[in-house]
């Protein structure tokens, strides 16, 4: 059965009988804890009677403590999230945090060698989210990778039953003067007999999701919840169905969220919101109530948009106007067609053209209005403002969490090295990796050119970041990693950084033949497929094959090939432009970016 927690204080702060509170929780089927420990005091506007809460929300963190630092604009980092919450509280705003599921482990199969470090990261994230005063968490499939015992804190899943250590009941929290009910729903397959992780965790279906969620939303309302937030560890289509039937005010989508939803989507009277995965963009939902909501009633919320929504709408208008102007210019140069006749001309008839010109005029007027008048909240009524906050390098880090992350890196490194194994040795006659010094004997000019490329410093970036024993990083910063006769974690000596053999192949036979072997035992020209193994969108967002070739070819190293590429854009230029764009985006947050990742 799901665990129940018994409140000992109502919102007034006066003591009440534990027995009375316990009986009330049994009757209501939920828990009321008021106020939430550690949250800042509410700051209502005495004149307007406003009550205000900023609710941050995350989903599908998937065990990601921080982002790969190789991209031009790395987004994420739990220490930046902690600082964001602390800084928001510092303005006198009451803050809450919820997670819609998928917090602890990555998607997909985790190899046996990477499982220990994945467990450490899951434990770390659970601890940090608890310290950030998590109000409630949904239950995603990846949360169960470590079994029920590894799930912290207990999750919300109204449509499932399970151990009290894994699941807890919904409850009402008093935050910022607002009574907010928080509940969750999980993918029902977690409770089916065919789901191994759910079955081993003791999960079972409690009933059809829509019905069970509706029942518990009603119970939360009767317990005094003015706003009800549903953490749906499900995709958008399922969340939309729940929006129509559950009676919740806000539904946080927790599955397949991708880049998130920059604007709230209204379905019925509910609002769907979604953050980006892996802490790239966290949701910030500001809820403002100006009227008291009686028990059992619902707060009538409107989406007030906000400055970000206003900016997004202006961008949409600009894009639409750009297309309209191109089309109208094209149509103006064509012979007019007859109404309903699509055979004599490509130009639309006069009525259609007139409608497009009216659309253009209305959009231009709307754009002018939005530019002339900055966004303001509604004058009356309850409202919400939804924003996605990019956790980029321009945001400060919480020093205590950042220090804990360094200790985590050290623990991960020690554990990985303790279990490290050398790469498999090559069989007789098979080429193996010999390292840069063997190449330099005959190719001194090429080696001199290489030393001035980014490839030559790849290993040093790991050392500076403390990641040289991290399976997530080391494979693309060492030569021959995971290859027969190559390198492996803890066994990279002579093969650190991206050396000749990364591109040209294992060189032992070439060295033994002194370059006279027939056929040649290495590749002279490297195909793009070799590069994209590491230069992926996630790790090298500006990669273009020919542009990046221009940076690694030149005097002493493929000068003819470099000449054939011509004077086009280089990888360095692409990278510099992307870094400048990231810096500009950082300035928009009001802080300068003081560190930049190395080119990649």
Show me where the domains of the chain are located. Answer: 38-306+379-390, 310-372, 421-587
The predicted structure's pLDDT at residue 353: 86
Residue 132 CB burial class (10 angstroms; 0-12, 13-18, ≥19): buried
> For the packed helices 545-552 and 571-587, what is the interaxial angle rounded to 10 degrees?
110
What token pair was written down for 32? 């009321």
CA angle 479, 484, 486 (to 5 degrees): 25
Give the span between the Cα atoms of 426 and 436, in whole angstroms: 19
DSSP conformational letter for 521:
S
| Backbone CA torsion sign across 112, 116, 121, 122 | positive
**Residue of 533, 375, 408, 304 whose CA lies nearest to 66:** 408
The predicted structure's pLDDT at residue 192: 74
Instruction: Measure CA 267 to chain center.
Output: 24
Q: What is the pLDDT along the chain (600 residues), one digit of tens a residue?
A: 343 333 333 333 444 443 344 333 433 344 443 333 333 333 445 455 789 999 999 999 999 999 998 999 999 999 999 999 999 999 999 999 999 999 999 999 999 999 999 999 999 999 999 999 999 999 999 999 998 888 999 999 999 999 988 999 999 999 989 999 999 999 888 877 667 777 678 888 888 899 999 999 999 999 999 999 999 999 999 999 999 999 999 999 999 999 999 999 999 999 999 999 999 999 999 999 998 888 888 889 999 987 877 777 778 888 888 888 888 888 887 755 555 554 545 667 888 888 888 888 988 888 888 787 788 888 899 999 999 999 999 999 999 999 999 999 999 999 999 999 999 999 999 999 999 999 999 999 999 999 999 999 999 999 999 999 999 999 999 999 999 999 999 999 999 999 999 999 999 999 999 999 999 999 989 999 999 999 999 899 999 999 999 999 999 999 999 999 999 999 999 999 999 988 887 775 544 443 434 445
Instruction: Measure CA 314 to chain center.
Output: 25
Instruction: Measure CA 268 to chain center.
Output: 27
What token pair was written down for 255? 């599955």
Q: How many CA atoms lie within 13 A of 508 on its CB side?
A: 14
Give the span between the Cα atoms of 383 and 266, in whole angstroms: 13
What token pair was written down for 276? 């980006």
**Residue of 384, 381, 179 whose CA lies nearest to 264:** 384
Residue 426 CB burial class (10 angstroms; 0-12, 13-18, ≥19): middle
CATH 1.10.3470: does it fit domain 421-587?
no
DSSP H helices, 223-336, are 236-245, 307-332
**Residue of 448, 419, 454, 424 whose CA lies nearest to 436:** 448
What token pair was written down for 551? 């940076």
Give the span between the Cα atoms of 272 and 238, in whole angstroms: 11
Strand partners for 487: 481
Give the span between the Cα atoms of 233 and 157, in whole angstroms: 9
> For the packed helices 350-372 and 307-332, what is the interaxial angle rounded to 10 degrees?
150
Give the span between the Cα atoms of 497 and 79, in whole angstroms: 29
Strand order in the sheet with 95-99: 134-137, 95-99, 51-58, 281-289, 382-390, 301-303
Residue 408 CB burial class (10 angstroms; 0-12, 13-18, ≥19): buried
Give the span between the Cα atoms of 399 and 102, in whole angstroms: 26
Give the span between the Cα atoms of 464 and 356, in whole angstroms: 57
- The maximal CA–CA distance of the chain, rounded, in angstroms, is 91
| Sequence-ordered list of residues with C-beta below 8 angstroms from that of 182, at least 6 positions apart, any chain | 98, 135, 136, 156, 170, 171, 172, 173, 228, 229, 231
Give the span between the Cα atoms of 67 and 74, in whole angstroms: 6
Give the span between the Cα atoms of 191 and 402, in whole angstroms: 37
Alpha carbon dihedral 103, 108, 111, 112, in 10-degree steps, equals 60
**Residue of 442, 424, 429, 428 whose CA lies nearest to 511:** 442
**Residue of 534, 526, 510, 530 whose CA lies nearest to 434:** 510
Give the span between the Cα atoms of 26 and 9, in whole angstroms: 16
Buried residues in 483-510 as b, exposed as e (16+ CB within 10 A): bebbbbbbebeebbbbbbbbbbbbbbbb
DSSP secondary structure string for all residues of 112-171: TTTHHHHHHHHHHHHHHHHHTTEEEEB--GGGGTT-GGG--S-BB-TTEE--TTTBB--E
Give the span between the Cα atoms of 100 and 32, in whole angstroms: 20
The predicted structure's pLDDT at residue 253: 98
Instruction: Measure CA 85 to chain center.
Output: 17
* pTM of model > 0.95: no
Give the span between the Cα atoms of 458 and 451, in whole angstroms: 11
| The CATH number fitting domain 38-306+379-390, selected from 3.90.79.10, 1.20.1250.20, 3.60.21.10, 1.10.10.10 | 3.60.21.10
Please report where in the chains the tokens 């006198």 appear, as a residue.
92
């Amino acid at each position: 059965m799901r665990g129940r927690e018994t409140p000992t204080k109502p919102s007034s702060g006066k003591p009440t009988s534990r027995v009375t509170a316990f009986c009330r929780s049994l009757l209501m089927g939920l828990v009321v804890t008021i106020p939430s420990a550690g949250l800042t005091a509410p700051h209502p506007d005495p004149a307007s009677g406003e009550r205000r809460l900023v609710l941050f929300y995350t989903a599908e963190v998937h065990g990601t403590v921080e982002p790969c630092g190789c991209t031009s604009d790395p987004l994420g980092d739990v220490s930046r999230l902690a600082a964001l919450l602390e800084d928001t509280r510092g303005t006198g705003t009451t803050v809450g945090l919820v997670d819609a599921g998928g917090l602890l482990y990555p998607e997909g199969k985790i190899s046996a060698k990477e499982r220990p470090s994945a467990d450490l990261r899951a434990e770390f994230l659970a601890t940090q989210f608890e310290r950030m005063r998590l109000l409630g968490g949904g239950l995603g499939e990846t949360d169960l990778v470590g079994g029920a015992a590894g799930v912290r804190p207990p999750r919300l899943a109204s449509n499932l039953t399970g151990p009290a250590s894994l699941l807890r009941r919904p409850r009402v929290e008093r935050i910022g003067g607002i009574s907010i009910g928080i509940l969750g729903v999980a993918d029902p397959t977690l409770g089916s007999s065919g789901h191994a992780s759910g079955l081993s965790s003791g999960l079972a279906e409690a009933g059809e999701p829509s019905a069970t969620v509706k029942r518990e939303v009603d119970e939360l309302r009767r317990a005094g919840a003015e706003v009800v937030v549903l953490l749906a560890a499900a995709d958008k289509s399922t969340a939309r169905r729940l929006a129509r039937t559950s009676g919740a005010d806000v539904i946080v989508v927790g599955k397949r969220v991708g880049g998130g939803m920059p604007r709230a989507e209204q379905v019925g009277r509910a609002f769907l919101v979604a953050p980006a995965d892996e802490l790239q963009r966290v949701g910030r939902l500001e809820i403002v109530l100006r009227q008291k909501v009686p028990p059992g009633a619902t707060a009538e919320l409107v989406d007030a948009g906000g400055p970000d929504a206003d900016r997004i709408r202006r961008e949409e208008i600009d894009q639409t106007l750009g297309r309209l102007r191109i089309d109208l210019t094209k149509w103006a140069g064509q012979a007019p067609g007859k109404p309903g006749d699509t055979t004599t001309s490509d130009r639309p008839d006069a009525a259609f053209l007139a409608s497009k010109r009216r659309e253009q005029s209305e959009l231009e007027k709307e754009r002018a209005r939005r530019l002339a008048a900055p966004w303001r909240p509604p004058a009356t009524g309850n409202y919400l403002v939804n924003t996605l906050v990019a956790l980029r390098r321009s945001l400060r880090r919480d020093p205590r969490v950042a220090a804990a992350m360094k200790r985590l890196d050290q623990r991960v490194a020690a554990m990985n090295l303790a279990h490290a194994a050398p790469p498999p040795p090559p069989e007789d006659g098979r080429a193996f990796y010999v390292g840069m010094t063997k190449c330099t004997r005959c190719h001194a000019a090429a080696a001199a050119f290489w030393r001035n490329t980014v490839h030559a410093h790849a290993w040093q970036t790991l050392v500076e970041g403390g990641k040289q024993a991290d399976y997530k990083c080391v494979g693309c910063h060492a030569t021959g990693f995971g290859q027969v006769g190559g390198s492996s974690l803890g066994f990279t000596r002579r093969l650190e950084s991206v050396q000749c053999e990364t591109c040209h192949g294992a060189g032992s036979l070439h060295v033994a033949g002194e370059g006279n072997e027939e056929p040649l035992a290495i590749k002279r020209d490297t195909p793009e497929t070799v590069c994209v193994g590491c230069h992926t969108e996630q790790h090298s967002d500006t990669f273009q094959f020919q542009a990046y070739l221009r940076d690694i070819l030149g005097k002493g190293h493929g000068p003819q090939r470099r000449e054939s590429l011509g004077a086009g854009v280089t990888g360095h230029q692409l990278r510099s432009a992307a870094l400048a764009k990231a810096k500009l985006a950082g300035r928009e947050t009001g802080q300068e970016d003081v560190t930049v990742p190395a080119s990649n």
